[in-house]
């Protein structure tokens, strides 16, 4: 037991071990980000669709499903963030004296700013949870947001109205759009990067992973920004 624990410790202490954890948690978060966007796009199918979907998530496994998902995502985010901060600190320490001239020949701006896009996203996630999950500083949890579905006659939370009202306020919409742009940037490097760290990339597959990463990043941005923009600028549902 302790020998296995030692090995785990040693794995985390190593540069490659930490990177593999970052890649695996990144993969989990990529899966989540995709599912989250697809679910949210149900807003364009009307109040019944998205409110039923919200109710389904809340009541899956007798209400336990959402907590299992939350625990898994929290663990993934914590490992992803703690490991990358520790790696970044080691990276800074590895070059104490900066070059007067240092020319990047092939790396993208997105890849050079992963820590900053990542930390801004962390702040966004906190804001996003306070906004729509904990509902602090708004009345999204009040009786005004109870909805009776046509199909089943359940009373459920009115996710539809909450999202419409949430994005009717310009500052929130702008912050969401900035966060999605940074997520797009983060994914454009992170997606293909994880295949390299997990030892999967080959000369033939690497260009495909790269293109898939750009496409995925663009898709996530387009899908999520469509919700914000159609409500905020084009008055969808208002």
Closest CA to 23 of 212, 207, 195: 195
- Rounded to a whole number of angstroms, the minimum distance from the CB of residue 14 to other proteins is 6
The distance of closest approach from Cβ of residue 180 to other proteins in the complex, given in angstroms and rounded to an integer, is 23
Q: How far is the CB of 143 from other proteins (least distance, A)?
A: 50
55 binds other proteins (CB under 8 A): no
CA distance 42 to 45: 5
DSSP-derived 3-state class of residue 156: strand
Asked if 97 is part of the footprint of other proteins (rule: CB under 8 A), the reply reads yes
Strand partners, 155: 148
In the complex, minimum distance from the CB of residue 185 to other proteins, in angstroms, rounded to a whole number: 14
Considering only residues 15 through 54, tell me which ones interact with other proteins, judged by CB under 8 A: 15-20
List the x/- string, 107-126, binding to other proteins by CB under 8 A: xx--xx-x------------
Instruction: Enumerate binding residues for other proteins (CB under 8 A).
Output: 3-4, 7-8, 10-11, 13-20, 87, 90-91, 93-108, 111-112, 114, 189, 192-193, 196-203, 206
């Amino acid at each position: 037991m302790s020998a296995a624990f030692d090995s785990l410790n040693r794995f985390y202490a190593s540069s490659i071990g930490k990177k593999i954890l970052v890649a695996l948690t990144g993969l989990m978060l990529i899966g989540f980000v995709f599912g989250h966007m697809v679910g949210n796009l149900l807003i364009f199918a009307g109040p019944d669709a998205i409110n039923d979907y919200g109710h389904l998530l809340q009541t899956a496994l007798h209400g336990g499903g959402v907590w299992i998902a939350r625990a898994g995502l929290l663990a993934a985010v914590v490992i992803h963030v703690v490991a990358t901060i520790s790696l970044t600190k080691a990276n800074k320490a590895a070059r104490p004296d900066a070059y007067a001239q240092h020319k990047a020949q092939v790396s993208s701006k997105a890849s050079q700013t992963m820590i900053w896009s990542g930390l801004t996203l962390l702040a966004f996630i906190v804001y996003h949870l306070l906004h729509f999950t904990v509902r602090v500083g708004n009345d999204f949890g009040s009786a005004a947001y109870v909805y009776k579905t046509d199909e089943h006659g359940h009373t459920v939370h009115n996710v539809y109205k909450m999202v419409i009202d949430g994005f009717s306020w310009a500052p929130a919409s702008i912050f969401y759009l900035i966060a999605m742009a940074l997520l797009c940037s983060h994914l454009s490097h992170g997606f293909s990067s994880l295949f390299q760290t997990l030892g999967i990339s080959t000369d033939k597959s690497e260009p495909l992973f790269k293109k898939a990463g750009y496409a995925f990043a663009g898709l996530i941005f387009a899908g999520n920004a469509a919700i914000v923009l159609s409500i905020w600028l084009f008055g969808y549902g208002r």
